[in-house]
Structure 1
Amino acid sequence: MSLVATLFKYYFTLKPLKFEQIYFRLKYRFFPVRKLSVSSSRSLETNQWFIETPVFQPQSFVDRHKVKFLNQEAQISTPNDWNSSKQEKLWLYNLHYFDDLNGVGHEARFELQKAFVHRWINENPPVMGNGWEPYPISLRLVNWIKWYQRHRLEDEVIVSSIYAQAIALKKQLEYHILGNHLFANAKALIFVGVFFKGATGEDFLNLGLKILKEQLKEQFLDDGGHFELSPMYHSILLWDLLDLINLAQSSKHEVLLEKVLDWKILASKALSYLVVMTHPDGEISFFNDAATGIAPSPETLFRYAEYLDLDRTAGNKSKLITLKSSSYTRAEVGAFVLFFDHAEIGPSYLPAHGHADALSIEMSLGESRILVNSGTSVYGTGPERARQRSTNAHNTVEIDGQDSSEVWGGFRVARSAKIISFEASEEDDSVCIASSHNGYARLRRGLIHSRKCRLTATYLECEDTIKGSFDEAKVLYHLHPETHIQRLATNELLIEAKGGQQLIFKCSHPYKIEESTWHPEFGVTISNQRIVITTSDSIITSRFCLR
């Protein structure tokens, strides 16, 4: 890449950022928290209450030294292992979250968990290593406090550590990132504020509630969706909101009880959103960063909502549902369920979890997924992370080998696709969805990709139109690993779903089958196949028809 191109990439990446993101990034880089001054004479009295939540996290503490995260086991035998250079950053973050304390089968592991808690305190001095970064602190504080209260512990060492971690969190709130990270900071401060009595608790609580008030308004859209436009992160934030409702009801804290009605109203909208974005198999659709096993499943969230006396929203039964603020549309006709992405990549100042998936689709037939976006198995900055964010890994159109949005660096985006038109209509026996984006106009002026999908009880038809000058386009359809295919002709293919249903795929141009991979969980790679239609023509039509 030329120097000029590199400068443009950085310019378009930095341009949308908020002032506070730049200010706090520079502050934390040049003036990081290097030591923690905590008064040893300060009285730390705690409140007692019991909080119960559904369990969904798998066991991660295997024995005194063995742990397992993201489908990968390792030994934590020495203090250095908490920050081992052999492990990916995300894996190390999970090590420091302590999700096991409230995970599946936690009742049988109390002594093991307590040993790990004290090991963490002894082997992770302030403010060294991954465990003292604000996001792991936030998740760990909530996990420790839930666990501490459930077992009605009285342990001054743990209480002192909770206080020290909360002080460290206050000193490095994630205004440089914003989004779900800052929301997690606020939630942790609120838990700490209710945990401690007196002025100590009030200081943390007031700060947490102040941030939460701002972020609820900023991060949850009018249709109930989370503004980062990832069904996975939506589920995480919904869980956080339900946890706060639970905290209010369990602790009976007067300040929280005054706010709980508003939180419940918002949670109900977020539950309705989740219903729309969930496949018939009960798991989320894969748009932007999304995978199963990180966030609680939709069923777990619905169960949690019922426990908190929130209605499990059944959702609108219309054939056509458009989430207007987040710009996803779900169509359901007969046994077909179609998800259509006409959203932009995410907030302009926070596209970290966005993929170049403009006008991508997913499709199920009954409870069998047929068309799948490739999912997310890694973070970081490597080539696999880049591939999974690319247009090439989604069910949409790639032009001249480029991405519809300039995703780069693991979590960065320069110029992003803008949606320039959208319409959807419902007839007696079909649904039609159409949209256009200008993501490729940066390559050649006036280059526009438009997609029109028609769904009936017997077929899905997609018509892709490319307006403007280009050399080569690829229409991509990634098939679920459990589908079986048989070539019938140069433009015709038999697809058999896991449930036995059969589809005939026909297209206006010859296709080829390529090997690919699907990533339904972090750390998981499953071989699958994809249909690739390569052409220089401006109109390409594809049809998936019930046999």
Structure 2
Amino acid sequence: MMAATNNNTSRLRWLIRRLSRISPAEVPYRVHGVLRAAAQGRGWFDAARVPPAMADAAYGAPWVALPSERCGQAEVLAAADALIAHGVPVFDTVVPLNDGSPDWNRDPKTGTAIPLSFGLDIDFRHLGEVDIKYLWELNRHVWWVPLAQAWQWSGHPRYLELLGRLLDSWLAACPYARGANWSSPVEHGIRLINWSIVWHLVGGAESPLFAGAAGQQRLARWLDSIYQHIRFASDNYSFHSSSDNHLIGEAAGVVVGAVTWDRWRPVRALAERAERILEEEMVKQFAADGVNLEQALCYHKFSLEFLLAARLSVAAGGRRFSAAFDQRLHAALLFMAAMLDRHGRVAPIGDADDGKVFRLLGDGARTPYEAMLAAGARLLQAPLLDAKLAALDSAATPARSSLLVPAAVPVDSPAQWPQWFAEGGYLVTDHGAAADAPLRLIMDIGPLGYNRIAGHGHADALALLLAAEGEDFLIDPGTYCYNAAPALRHYFRGTSAHNTVQIDGSDQSVYGGSFLWLRDIASRMHTYQDDGVQLDLEASHDGYLRLDDPLRHVRALQLDRSAGTLAVTDRFECQAAHQAALHWHFAAHCRIERDGEAWLVHGRAVSLRVEIDAPGCSITLVQGQEMPPLGWSSPRFYEREASPVLRVAGPVDATTRLRSRFTLIKH
């Protein structure tokens, strides 16, 4: 009883805070949403009845295929066989397939069954110890794709038969609008995209899956659910302050679904609307310099995967999005490519939940980011994308890609790599294609996040990341979890988990909940010069102007590439004294020891000498501290490991200068 009361109190507190961040123009939309959901829950204006197919009903041309080279066949077959033998990996757990009938409505982590009540009435943010992401991850059906690939490549019936059993069991267990799998329309967008890929790989309507009377009944049930998926996504679009990657995903799913299964007349109008939404959101959610304004690199990729799926499916039918869409897509790919290191990885800036919209194996790419870069390089005539792809230390070639793409589209491409992405707010030195870059620096000088709530942004203004000779040293610790561990969720999103300065023990913004910040942060570049050898800049943010004694944090950098040094100076514009904590988070593999007044940070191949001048402050080495959390990093969602942190803490005022100097030492 007490747990239920606390949960209700938490929900009410969250709702009040959430409502405080919406605009007056959003109120009618929210009221309409409540009324719409109530009507659908009673069977009004819903999609329970599927209209008959049009006389000119057709199936769209495939937009995916196996790679032309068979070098990835072993990878695909091994992945499919592992699924059959061991089950589906979902974060830190594995879901048994039960011969094609996993429990689609049971939380894989806690074993909690989610009832088949009306989906939109399920408050998936407040389900006690249940993190709904586990259930949704299983039900996105991304993992169905390697089974379809394995069947197309090998022709072995066991892969196709398993897909048939999975499809039958899912359709039986997840009826229209009932249960957690009908509670968030973006999940329908993801399922539609993966269903489309599977459909094409198994042979479409002519697949042996649909042979005979039983097969035709399976096809009819699946087509009914596809129509209902398209309707559910388009009936419940995430507009206004919710219009982040969810809206892109919902509209992309509608587009892919409508193109793949062009069978129902009402869906054609829904597809036209969805294409308009994608055109608009591409420009709204991606800055002109290509940065996704959610300020989370995982969601940058996530949104790009949605947009690319829609772009390719439409192109397979002989149409295309606008030139402006392709130009912004190109900018987004360039930014992502700039953030890629030589190993095909990106730092987990902002929320990073390992989410992916789709993934075809066998393309030689080591990470989903590398796969996106390969697809973009094939789609767009962009020399910088080709150059970055060729520079990665991978055996794969720029020709790799599992995506069936049309002829390359010309776009306006810069002659050289951008380094300062001014609108999105990221400085990225030495974009990673140069093998001889001794120090590589990334700095966040951007906003907190998108659409006032900054749902996936972290309070990390002016944070730094530093790699030396391709090896990570100063890191972003990542995300770890969303809903199941509130204290750790707050820590990983908060200021103390990033390489910046925390003031008076508070975050740069006011924490409102797992996906909610209550105050915006504005960062600004004051000066910036880079002659290719030495970089000098100064920037600031206003997150602490809300304090009783307003404080502005100003950070200056000097990067000397020839000397292999980075000097960082933090100062504070304020009237009174404050307590500050500067944190330097190092990669988990780093080993730190004292060296007189300095610290030596040993990596695998090189080391850094760290000298800190902080009068009146204590300097401590922290690793794996539980209360309060400090000294953790999350290499993957729902995994964490102890990582060393140098904590510089003490009083500061307007005269204080905190100076940190990092010097590369080659072994």
What's the counterpart of residue 579 of structure 2? 472
1:181 aligns with 2:246: yes
Contact 1:72 / 1:523 at 8 angstroms: preserved in 2? no
TM-score scaled by length of structure 2:
0.74
User: Are 2:63 and 2:312, in contact at CA under 8 Å, matched by a contact in 1?
Assistant: yes
Residue 534 of structure 2 is aligned to residue 430 of structure 1: yes
Q: For residues 503-542 of structure 1, what are the structure 2 equivalents within 5 Å?
A: 503-509=608-614, 510-515=618-623, 516-537=631-652, 538-542=656-660
Letter in 2 for 1:545: T
Give 1:4's aligned residue: none
Q: SS in structure 1 opposite 2:492?
A: helix
Output the amino acid matched with 1:131.
Answer: N
Q: Matches of 1:544 and 1:294 in 2, distance apart? A: 36
Task: Determine the structure 1 residue equivalent to 2:626.
Answer: none
Per-residue deviation, 1:148: 1.0
2:50, 2:36 → 1: CA distance?
25
How far apart, in 2, do the equivalents of 1:318 and 1:208 lie?
35
Quote the Cα distance in structure 1 between the aligned partners of 2:417 and 2:559.
10
Cα displacement string for residues 21-43 of structure 1 (whole angstroms, at most 9, x for unaligned residues): 44444444454232444435612
Q: Is this contact kept in 1: 2:95–2:102, CA < 8 A? A: no
1:301 paired residue number: 372
User: Alignment length, in residue pairs?
Assistant: 536
Larger displacement relative to structure 2 (311-320 or 288-297): 311-320
1:148 and 2:199 correspond: yes
| AA partner of residue 297 (structure 1) | P
* CA gap 1:81/1:100 in 2 versus in 1, 3 angstroms: closer
Counterpart of 1:196 in structure 2 is 262
Identity of aligned residues (%): 20
Of 344-353 and 365-374, more deviation after overlay is shown by: 344-353
Correspondences of 1:207-218 after superposition (within 5 Å): 207-218=273-284
Aligned counterpart in structure 2 of residue 495 of structure 1, from 589, 601, 609: 601
2:347 counterpart of 1:285: yes
1:254-293 matches, within 5 Å, as: 256-257=319-320, 259=321, 261-290=323-352
Instruction: Please report how far the alpha carbon of residue 350 of structure 1 lies from its aligned counterpart in structure 2 after TM superposition.
Output: 4.0
- Do the aligned residues in 2 keep the contact of 1:228 with 1:350 (CA within 8 Å)? no
Pair 38,12 (structure 1): closer, same or farther in 2 beyond 3 Å: closer
Specify the SS of the correspondent of 2:236: coil
- Per-residue CA distance 1:366-396 (angstroms, 9 max, x = gap): 2100000110121127111111100011010
The answer to whether the 8 Å contact 1:424/1:434 transfers is yes
Query: Match of 1:116, SS?
Result: helix
Report if aligned partners of 2:289, 2:421 keep a CA contact under 8 Å in 1: yes
C-alpha contact (below 8 Å) 1:60/1:100 kept by paired residues: no
Contact 1:391 1:397 in 2 (8 A): yes
CA–CA distance in structure 2, aligned partners of residues 400 and 47 of structure 1:
61
Q: How far 1:236 moved relative to its partner?
A: 1.4
Q: How far apart are 1:318 and its partner, in Å?
A: 7.2
Equivalent position SS for 2:315: helix
Q: Return closer, same or farther for 1:71/1:436 CA change in 2, 3 Å cut-off.
A: same
Query: What pairs up with 1:327-342 in 2 under 5 angstroms?
Result: 327-332=425-430, 334-342=437-445
Which residue type is aligned with residue 112 of structure 1? Answer: L
Q: Write the distance in 1 (CA, Å) between the matches of 2:481 and 2:328.
A: 31
Residues 98-119 of structure 1, C-alpha deviations (whole Å, 9 max, x = no match):
1112248842433322321221
CA-based RMSD of the aligned residues comes to: 3.0
**Which residue of the other structure, out of 341, 363, 371, is the alignment partner of 2:474?**
371
Comparing 121-130 with 293-302, greater Cα deviation is found at 293-302
Quote how far apart the aligned CAs of 1:506 are. Answer: 0.5
- Which deviates more from structure 2 when the two are superposed, residues 62-71 or residues 447-456? 62-71
TM-score w.r.t. the length of structure 1 is: 0.89
Q: Deviations over 1:139-165 (max 9, x none)?
A: 101111221122223322211110122
**Which residue of the other structure, out of 14, 39, 43, is the alignment partner of 2:49?**
39
| 8 Å CA contact 2:279, 2:325 repeated in 1 | no
Gaps of 5+ in 2: 1-11, 68-74, 113-129, 152-158, 206-218, 358-366, 389-413, 431-435, 624-630
The aligned residue for residue 223 of structure 2 is 159
Q: Is residue 98 of structure 1 aligned with residue 134 of structure 2?
A: no
Q: Structure 2 CA distance, aligned partners of 1:397 and 1:317?
A: 36
Alpha-carbon distance between aligned partners in 2 of 1:83 and 1:466, rounded to the nearest angstrom: 51
- Equivalent in the alignment of 1:127: 177
Is 1:460 aligned to residue 503 of structure 2? no
SS of 1:268's equivalent in the other structure is: helix
**Displacement of 1:196:** 1.2
Among residues 17, 21, 31, which one is paired with 2:22 in the alignment?
17
Partners in 2 of 1:440 and 1:269 — Cα distance?
A: 32
CA contact (8 A) 1:83 1:129 kept: no
Residue 397 of structure 1 aligns with an amino acid whose one-letter code is V
**Which secondary structure does the structure 1 equivalent of 2:295 belong to?**
coil
- 1:406-425 matches, cutoff 5 A: 406-425=510-529
Mapping of residues 372-411 of structure 1, within 5 Å: 372-380=475-483, 382-411=486-515
Q: Deviations over 1:415-434 (max 9, x none)?
A: 23222553211135310121
User: Could you tell me which residue of structure 2 aligns to residue 3 of structure 1?
Assistant: none
Could you tell me how far apart the structure 1 residues matched to 2:509 and 2:306 are? 30
Amino acid at match of 2:334: S
**Runs of 5+ unmatched residues, structure 1:** 1-6
* Residue 360 of structure 2: aligned partner: none
Residues 122/325 of structure 1: CA separation in 2 closer, same or farther (3 Å cut): same
Question: 1:34-113 residue pairs with structure 2 within 5 A?
Answer: 34=41, 35=43, 36-40=46-50, 42-43=52-53, 45-52=57-64, 62-63=83-84, 66-75=87-96, 81-84=104-107, 86=112, 87-103=130-146, 106-108=149-151, 109-113=159-163
Quote how far apart the aligned CAs of 1:532 are: 0.6
1:479 Cα offset (Å): 0.4
Say whether the 8 Å CA contact 2:567–2:661 is kept in structure 1.
Answer: yes
Q: Name the SS for the 1:380 alignment partner.
A: coil
